[in-house]
Amino acid sequence: MRAEPNIVVLTGAGMSAESGVPTFRGADGLWEGHHIEMVASPEGFARDPELVHRFYNLRRAALNTVEPNAGHHALARLEREWRGRFLLVTQNVDDLHERAGSEKLIHMHGELRKARCECCGAVMAWNKDLASGTRCRACGEIGGLRPHIVWFGEFPFEMETIMNVLKNADIFLCIGTSGVVYPAAGFAKEAARNPACRLVEFNIESTEISRQFRERVIGPVSVELPKFVE
Ligand code: BJW
pLDDT higher than threshold 90 for residue 209: yes
Average pLDDT for the chain: 95
Does this model's pTM top 0.80? My answer is yes
Q: Average of pLDDT values for 100-123?
A: 98
Q: Angle at CA 210, nearest 5°, toward 94 and 215? A: 95
- Where helices occur in 129-183 by DSSP H, the ranges are 159-167
Active site residue 73: no
Rounded Cα–Cα distance for residues 107 and 158 (Å):
8
> Which of ligand 1's atoms lies nearest the C-alpha of 181?
19
> Which of ligand 1's atoms lies nearest the C-alpha of 23?
66
Longest dimension (CA), the chain: 55
Give the model confidence (pLDDT) of 30-82 as tens digits: 677 778 888 999 999 999 999 999 999 999 999 999 999 999 999 999 999 99
Please say whether the beta carbons of 130 and 144 come within 8 A: no
* Protein residue whose Cα sits closest to atom 53 of ligand 1: 24
Report the CATH architecture of 1-21+68-109+156-230.
Answer: 3-Layer(aba) Sandwich (3.40)
Rounded Cα–Cα distance for residues 218 and 210 (Å):
11
Domain assignments of the chain as residue spans, ordered by start: 1-21+68-109+156-230, 25-65+110-149
Please say whether the beta carbons of 18 and 222 come within 8 A: yes
Rounded Cα–Cα distance for residues 5 and 82 (Å):
9
Report the CATH architecture of 25-65+110-149.
Answer: 2-Layer Sandwich (3.30)
